[in-house]
Amino acid sequence: MLCNKINSGSFFVNRALNFIFGVASALYIVVVQPCWVFGGVVSCFFTNFLRCMLKPSDRQLAVLIFTGALYCCSVLLAGTILFVMLPQQLQAAFTQMLNGQALLILFFFCSGGAIVVGGVRWFLHNYYLPVEKMKADLRIIEKTNLKYRIPEQGGWQLRQLIRSMNHMGEYFVQEHQQLQSKIDMAKARAEYEKNTLAGLIDELSDGVIVCDLYERVVLYNKKAKKIFGTRQQFIGLGRKFNKIISSELFEQAVTELQRKLAGNFAELEDIDHYFNLTLDGQIINISAVPVFVGETTLNGVIFIARTATEPVRLPAHNPNIEAQTIMATGAKVQSQGRFYDFDILTDRQPAELLNRPLLNLSFTVFDTETTGLNPSGGDELVSLGAVRVVNGHVLENECFYTLIRPNKPIPIAATLIHGISNDMVAAAPSCTDVLHYFYQFAEDTVLAGHNIAFDMRFLKMKEPLTGLLFNHAILDTLLLSSVVHRQQETHHLDALARRFGIEDPFTRRHHALGDALLTAHILVCLFPLLKDMGIVTLGQALEASRNSRYSGLAY
């Protein structure tokens, strides 16, 4: 009898255990696995969202919190469903068995959570995040700085891989230097001839300005800036030539050259156009000759200028008049030849600025120094520096820099940062005068800077006083860096300069022109990295900047 009872009890227990195991297996397949699959999908979306919106350290913390929450929800949900689906007898037995074991259950529950969260953290810290950073570092080596080396980080396998890649990078640099030396030797003669030609043009006794058909300056020499006197600040690569002569005169010269090209001229050297310009009381003789694509297709105009010997007396009632008149003249200015091998001549400007490639734009990269960090609280500008970037080239010979006399004393704390004292700005021009000059310097360009929201706030605060509206398109290298280097925690100027291998033109930071030059070189280094991400046009760069986690900065 006892054996029968034992056998019956064993049979019941076995049946119960088999039932529980079957239910648990079914729940695992039907409930737990879908929970983890759903959790994986949600986690993937969540981590990608965090990747765009938070810093790396914040993202790691958020992922760990999310993993812990997902673990808790999954265990509680699976346990609850499993308990509800058990028969009442088993529920009572299970409840009685767990009665008084709350601390033990909590211990195992927390231990499991700690193991899961710790495992995720270990994976993030040793593999996922280092690999993401390594991908960004490899793009820097590929696109901008061959001498950049990937910092060793992550697990020991990953460190060995990085060490091997850095050794390979050293070998690649040596091979590249040898190849580059051969290329340099092959290009030496062409460079010598080009530099000689550029030197000859620069030293000509006549002023030479080459423009494309969109009135943009392609080339100019020192004599041209001297001849055009008060308007020399408008002469620069990529600038509109209509600040020197009117668009009507330019169009008339182009029309006349095209008419002669369509005629029967025995020699192309006979195709030219002559007119005089009166500027600041001085007669300027100007000869316009064509720049060709192929044999007879007009692609630009070379303006050769020289001053007449006799100045013109201006009317006494209007001494500041700057008249532009066409006068008949029989004297010809001797042609100095044709020059047409310039990238800007082949740039066909689209109608919309936002659709233009970044490499085909003109930028004014600027920086300011101030009395403090609160423009709305009365802080003022004390210096402004800028440099132009045209077609992906930093034009270090086209710079703007001046000290500014503020309307309040410069605090000692600010002087210790930028080195500008009250004595240095005592005789400096006012902010209103400086901003008028800067507005002309930056005309028809895209404004750029590092954390430019700070600098633009000072310019916007002065708009009611100056009457100038700085409604230019604006790019910020801080935002662009956060787009291409999402895994990096720092995006300040010094970090970017080291990352791109840029030599600092100034020995110290917080000099307006020095920071502007450094920012300009950083901007040019960002272009290929942006292109690698499919960000090619100005509109795409502005859209990417708006999605940056730093885009909400305001002053």
Instruction: Give the pLDDT of the chain (555 residues) as one tens digit per residue.
Output: 333 333 344 344 344 434 444 444 444 444 444 444 444 444 444 444 444 444 555 666 677 777 777 777 887 777 778 777 877 777 777 677 667 666 777 777 777 777 877 777 787 777 777 887 787 787 777 777 777 777 888 778 788 888 888 777 777 777 777 777 777 777 776 667 666 776 777 778 888 898 888 888 888 888 888 888 767 777 888 888 888 888 899 999 998 888 887 775 545 556 778 888 887 778 888 989 888 766 667 888 989 998 875 443 333 333 232 222 222 222 232 333 333 335 666 665 555 888 999 998 999 999 999 999 898 888 999 999 999 999 899 998 889 999 999 999 999 999 999 999 999 999 999 999 999 999 999 998 999 999 999 999 999 999 999 999 999 999 999 999 999 988 787 888 988 988 888 876 555 578 999 999 999 999 999 999 999 899 999 999 999 999 888 887 665
Per CATH, 208-346 and 353-546 having the same topology is answered no
The CATH H-level superfamily of 208-346 is PAS domain (3.30.450.20)
**What is the Cα–Cα distance from 125 to 132, expressed in whole angstroms?**
11
DSSP secondary structure code for residue 405 in this structure? B
Q: What are phi and psi of 454, to 5 degrees?
A: -65, -50
Specify the amino acid at residue 127: Y
CA distance 108 to 78: 16
Q: Locate tokens 């005169």: which residue?
A: 249
Distance (Å, whole) CA 46 – CA 39: 10
In 3D space, the residue among 301, 303, 306 whose CA is nearest the CA of residue 285 turns out to be: 306
Q: Give the pLDDT confidence score for residue 258 in this predicted structure.
A: 85
Among the listed residues 343, 339, 450, the one whose alpha carbon sits nearest the alpha carbon of residue 392: 343
Looking at residue 346, its pLDDT comes to: 62
Integer Cα distance of 271 and 211 in angstroms: 17
Sheet-wide strand order for 217-220 = 217-220, 207-212, 297-307, 282-293, 273-279
Helices 512-532 and 477-484: angle between axes, nearest 10 degrees? 30
**Where do runs of H (alpha helix) occur along 359-486?**
412-418, 431-441, 452-461, 463-466, 477-484
Would you state the pLDDT for residue 151? 81
- Encode 504-524: b = buried (16+ Cβ within 10 Å), e = exposed: bbeeeebbbbbbbbbbbbbbb
Quote the tokens at residue 178: 């040898």
The phi-psi region of residue 392 (left if phi > 0; otherwise alpha if psi is between -120 and 50; otherwise beta) is: left
Dist CA 528 CA 148 (whole Å): 16
For the domain made up of 353-546, the CATH class stated in words is alpha beta
Predicted confidence at residue 324, as pLDDT, reads 28
Domain positions in the chain are 15-143, 208-346, 353-546
Task: Give the contacts of 379 (CB within 8 A, at least 6 positions apart).
Answer: 370, 371, 372, 373, 408, 458
Evaluate whether 359 touches 446 at the Cβ level (below 8 Å).
no
Q: What span, in angstroms and rounded, lies between the C-alpha atoms of 367 and 478?
A: 13
Is residue 132 within 8 Å of 487, Cβ to Cβ?
yes
* Angle ∠(294,296,298) on CA atoms, nearest 5: 90
How do beta strands 446-449 and 474-476 pair? parallel
Terminal-to-terminal C-alpha distance of the chain: 90
